[in-house]
Amino acid sequence: MEINAVEFDKIAREVFAPIYPVIAEQIIARTGIKSGCCLDIGCGGGYLGLALARITELEMILFDESPEMLDLARGYIHDSGLEARVKTLQGDVHAIPLADGSVNLTISRGSLFFWEDQARAFREIYRVLAPGGMTCIGGGFGNKELLKQVEKEMLLRDPDWNNLRQQRVGKSKAADYKAKLEQAGINDFEINQDETGLWIMIRRSA
Ligand SMILES: C[S@@+](CC[C@H](N)C(=O)[O-])C[C@H]1O[C@@H](n2cnc3c(N)ncnc32)[C@H](O)[C@@H]1O
């Protein structure tokens, strides 16, 4: 399903903006990875990758299949002054155009729900992960207060928003993602779920 880049960007800027710095801090707390190469898969306008680049020394690759999203991301990279450390890359998560073992940290928020073959995507993500590398893939809104704030605003725009959220990160979804990870031959993973979202952490042993 194609996402309208301009419409999504408006929501990201007007509603989701406060969640990205909070999620970036949570990613550091969970992974401890602050340097090396980071791949933000399905980056959209690059909001999360940029929030993480601002507080780390990571070399960031903002990766998306949509040229329109990457055009927006390039504008935000320019505004951030982080051009030396943040690049864009166009491609599909099912065939990531990067070498084996070249990424230390993979992040991805709000994108996996759109991947046609999640097991294949997880295999690709694992392939590009360096020994000692980790992932934070999923969807969420940071904390309860931020979720409440986003929910209030999103329900005004789309009364079906909560149903859609449940379909993507609701209680029954963890078992589905576990099955897909196992299908991909990945054993060292955790699925962390609470009312604010669901995150898949994969570790590649050193
Ligand atoms: C809902 S947006 C999320 C954007 C951003 N990560 C955020 O949290 O605001 C989902 C993004 O995933 C991208 N996407 C969907 N399927 C993809 C695929 N197969 N490969 C790469 N990117 C994909 C879309 O183009 C879109 O930019």
Write out the DSSP string of 38-63. EEEET-TTTHHHHHHHHTS--EEEEE
> Hey, where are the domains in the chain?
5-202
Q: How far apart (Å, rounded) are the C-alpha atoms in residues 50 and 18?
A: 13
pLDDT in tens, the chain (206 residues): 679 999 999 999 999 999 999 999 999 999 999 999 999 999 999 999 999 999 999 999 999 999 999 999 999 999 999 999 999 999 999 999 999 999 999 999 999 999 999 999 999 999 999 999 999 999 999 999 999 999 999 999 999 999 989 888 877 789 999 999 999 999 999 999 998 999 999 999 98
C-alpha distance from residue 45 to each of 10, 128, 177 (Å): 10, 22, 25
Please give the number of the atom of ligand 1 that sits closest to the Cα of 116.
Answer: 19
Q: How far apart (Å, rounded) are the C-alpha atoms in residues 179 and 162?
A: 25
CATH architecture label of 5-202: 3-Layer(aba) Sandwich (3.40)
**pTM metric for this prediction:** 0.97
**Ligand 1 centroid, distance to 106 Cα (angstroms):** 14
For residue 59, the cross-strand partners are: 37
Q: Among 14, 64, 106, 125, name the best residue to mutate to test ligand 1's pocket (greatest count of ligand atoms within 8 A of Cβ).
A: 64
